[in-house]
Amino acid sequence: MKTVIFKIKEVSWEQENQRIMMIRKKVFVDEQNVPMEEEMDELDVQCWFVLAEDSKENVIGTGRLLPSGKIGRMAVLKEYRNIGVGSAILNALIEIANNESINNLYLHGQVHAKAFYNKHGFIEQGSIFDEAGIPHYKMRFIPH
């Protein structure tokens, strides 16, 4: 497994929307065939965001937290998966939720990522459902 130095930082939609959307377009639209009109929504302006950057400040991942407690749009470039970037993004979003006193965290996790979210304290609730043509679970955060 390659070692990659990266950092996670909280950013605003207003300042970083182009870099956020670049990652989401590559992962969701190009790789997973989610229509761009489904990927874009009016909720981004309300969210907290984190970006993962490599040592040259290239963006390699992102995620968002809505005021409702929903974590979403978790995306990591393919070549940076399985080295801890997704975990660092998710942990940063959980920390933001704690700092903002949001304690009803949940997400819609793609079925293939269920074990990843389970490892971070998210438990699936209900049956599998379709979102943007991809099977998902609703998952609720149960702090350890």
Q: What is the pTM of this model?
A: 0.95
Separation of alpha carbons 86 and 8, rounded Å: 10
> Mean of the per-residue pLDDT values for the chain?
95
Q: What mean pLDDT do residues 21-31 have?
A: 97
List 108's β-bridge partners, or say none: 138
C-beta of residue 136 within 8 angstroms of C-beta of residue 111: yes
User: 101-129, pLDDT tens digit by residue?
Assistant: 998 999 999 999 999 999 999 999 999 99
- What phi and psi values does residue 124 have, to the nearest 5 degrees? -70, 145
Q: What is the DSSP letter of 3?
A: -
Q: What residue ranges define each of the domains in the chain, with the CATH number in brackets? A: 6-104 (3.40.630.30)
Instruction: Give the type of residue at 143.
Output: P
Task: Inform me whether the pLDDT recorded for 5 exceeds 80.
Answer: yes
C-beta of residue 35 within 8 angstroms of C-beta of residue 28: no
Tokens of residue 107, six digits: 């997400």
From residue 112, alpha-carbon distances to 6, 96, 105 in Å are 24, 25, 20
Task: Inform me whether the pLDDT recorded for 1 exceeds 60.
Answer: no
Task: Inform me whether the pLDDT recorded for 3 exceeds 80.
Answer: no
Predicted confidence band at 4 (pLDDT cuts at 50, 70, 90)? confident
DSSP line for 75-125: EE-GGGTTTTHHHHHHHHHHHHHHHTT----EEEEEGGGHHHHHHTTEEEE
Determine the pLDDT at residue 2. Answer: 64
Q: What mean pLDDT do residues 73-93 have?
A: 96
Q: What mean pLDDT do residues 11-32 have?
A: 97
Determine the pLDDT at residue 33. Answer: 94
What is the chain's Cα-based Rg? 14
